[in-house]
Structure 1
């Protein structure tokens, strides 16, 4: 059982009304929405900034190219 059902949501709204009053709730909702939007922008920005690793390039000399693949060794 996951998530908040209708009863849980109703209970949260009633507690919020008692704590903050009906005049303050719209301001809190707007602030929460702005915060959530900024968080999502920041998270997307971090994910987009990570560069993909460049492919590794291995140079093979002409002598090594003539060897069978089993005998070739990567340079260290």
Structure 2
């Protein structure tokens, strides 16, 4: 059985087309602001994920401590 990926990473020509569409939609002046806000949102998501993982680890270790007592 051969698995075919649903979404492939865009290559060079596809990236150029995507960038041209972005410039047309947002304008060249708005692209740095758009990239900055996207980066900030990704950073917030990463921090939230790490915080959730830490909370889950803490809760699991508390469960183990309670079970051992």
Please give the TM-score of this superposition, normalised by the length of structure 2.
0.71
Alignment size in residue pairs = 58
1:40 aligns with 2:46: yes
Query: Of the two, which has the highest radius of gyration?
Result: 1
In the alignment, what sits opposite 2:12?
6
Q: Secondary structure at the match of 1:54?
A: helix
Q: Distance in 1 between matches of 2:54 and 2:64?
A: 16
- 1:57 shift after superposition: 4.0
In 1, the alpha carbon distance for the partners of 2:47 and 2:18 equals 27
Unaligned runs of 5+ in 2: none
Deviation larger for 48-57 or 10-19: 48-57
* TM-score, reference length from structure 1: 0.65
1:23 counterpart = 2:33: no
- Does 1 or 2 have the higher relative contact order (CA < 8 Å, sep 6+)? 1
